[in-house]
Amino acid sequence: MNLKKILITGGAGFIGSHLVRLFVNKYPDYKMVNLDKLTYAGNLANLTDIENAPNYEFIKGDIVDADFIHSLFKQYQFDAVIHLAAESHVDRSIASPMDFIMTNIVGTANLLNAAKANWTDLSSKLFYHVSTDEVYGSLGETGMFEETTPYDPRSPYSASKASSDHLVRAYYHTYKLPVVISNCSNNYGSHQFPEKLIPLFIHNIKNNKPLPVYGKGENIRDWLWVEDHARAIDVIFHKAKVGETYNIGGHNEWKNIDLIKVICKVMDKQLGRPEGTSEKLITYVTDRAGHDMRYAIDATKLKNELGWTPSLQFEEGIEKTIQWYLTNEEWLNNVTSGAYQHYYEKQYNNR
Ligand code: NAD
Ligand code: DAU
């Protein structure tokens, strides 16, 4: 397939910005159109290194606006869509589920409808939906999520993502829209908004603020370097069979409290503080409502069929990540102040 004009939604966010950077640098013959509403989580400062590239264009817009999305498809005649735009934070979905229902479900439906209406020769098109392992629910002590694991979403966020996955598959089966879906585990790395565990804790340690550990800190997540996720999307986009689903994961399970202690140790070292200083900031707080216990991804299908494996060991990745946030103080200060300050303080300063 010779895919030329690609609509990437949510390209100013955490994962989207890594994906846009990878595609702009790796595929000079493609044109990447980044559509993003620039919510609190979207930030054009994530893309300053490629913003003037000839194969890149940014458009500010909302995927919930159906008329706008239809006219965009008409105007640009996209060959493919890689859809990442979403409300992505579980805690916010507990506080404000409707934002998630609108963007994640209605927004995805609008994109599917626009693709369906505008794509005539389906053989050369692709709608790639980027999703999460949270759609599979919560694991006990053993087992892993496989592509065939039944859906069992338990938060408004995961239910909205599960709903969007179902819509994408429904458009494949009903209208033959060429789609592919990937479900990925927890990402970490640079440019992640400091509301998610790792950047929030780095930010708080730096500022000597409490580290709010939910419940007993015993929940388990499977962490993947964000650039490895972007590489996986690249491989799936170019090699996947239409209609398929692929799990993406790091084979890298950590109990929250153990991960937090690693962050504390690396931060002490990088900040030149005596060992044990940051751990004193650990504060156990009320658990997240409906907190999923454990996620673990079996990514064997992606490895065996398309040859993808993670490239980076966690120990190296977390050191690089912490170093990035400490070196890019201005980025961290910008996203937690200015236009974002009200939002950030309301959510996080009183913990
Ligand atoms: P993010 O919150 O950092 O970025 C989301 C982006 O979408 C932002 O730039 C935001 O401005 C944009 N956006 C939000 N609502 C929009 C709307 N209505 N119209 C247009 N743009 C809008 O999220 P992320 O962590 O980069 O996640 C990207 C995608 O990957 C999401 O679909 C998420 O569900 C999925 N995912 C994330 C993870 C993770 O660990 N972060 C893991 C697996 C899957
Ligand atoms: O699994 C993929 C998902 O990973 C993505 O789909 C989501 O978009 C992404 O936000 C992430 O969801 P989590 O809820 O797992 O990530 P979060 O960073 O919010 O939390 C990670 C774990 O840390 C979780 O068990 C809750 C806990 N936690 C989180 C925060 C923010 C705390 O103990 N304290 C905190 O302050």
Annotate 204-258 with three-state secondary structure: HHHCCCCEEEECCCCCEEEEEEHHHHHHHHHHHHHHCCCCCEEEECCCCEEEHHH
Cα separations (Å) of 249 from 109, 230, 257, 308, 312? Answer: 26, 12, 20, 10, 12
CA distance 158 to 165: 10
Pocket lining: 250 vs ligand 1, CB cutoff 6 Å: no
Q: Is the CATH number of domain 5-192+223-253+293-313 2.60.40.420?
A: no
pTM for the full model?
0.97
Residues acting as catalytic residues: 133-134, 157
340 CB less than 6 Å from ligand 2? no
Smallest-distance ligand from the CA of 155? 2
pLDDT in tens, the chain (351 residues): 555 899 999 999 999 999 999 999 999 999 999 999 999 999 999 999 999 999 999 999 999 999 999 999 999 999 999 999 999 999 999 999 999 999 999 999 999 999 999 999 999 999 999 999 999 999 999 999 999 999 999 999 999 999 999 999 999 999 999 999 999 999 999 999 999 999 999 999 999 999 999 999 999 999 999 999 999 999 999 999 999 999 999 999 999 999 999 999 999 999 999 999 999 999 999 999 999 999 999 999 999 999 999 999 999 999 999 999 999 999 988 888 865 555 555 555 444
Q: What is the pLDDT of residue 150?
A: 98
Which of 8, 60, 88, 135 gets mutated to test ligand 1 (max ligand atoms within 8 A of its CB)?
Answer: 88
Domain ranges of the chain: 5-192+223-253+293-313
What is the DSSP secondary structure assignment for residue 103, as one 8-state letter?
I
Among residues 279, 267, 282, the alpha carbon closest in space to that of 202 is found at 267
Task: Answer yes or no: is the C-beta of 42 below 6 A from any ligand 1 atom.
Answer: yes
Closest CA to 188 of 166, 157, 221, 210: 221
85 lines ligand 1 (CB under 6 A): yes
Q: Which long-range contacts (CB under 8 A, 24 or more apart) does 67-70 make?
A: 69/110, 69/111, 69/113, 69/114, 70/110, 70/113, 70/114, 70/117, 70/118
Q: Alpha helices, DSSP H only, in 65-179?
A: 66-76, 90-95, 97-100, 108-118, 156-175
Amino acid at 23: F
Residue 196 CA: which ligand 2 atom is closest? Answer: 18
Question: Sign of torsion, CA 167 132 160 120?
Answer: negative
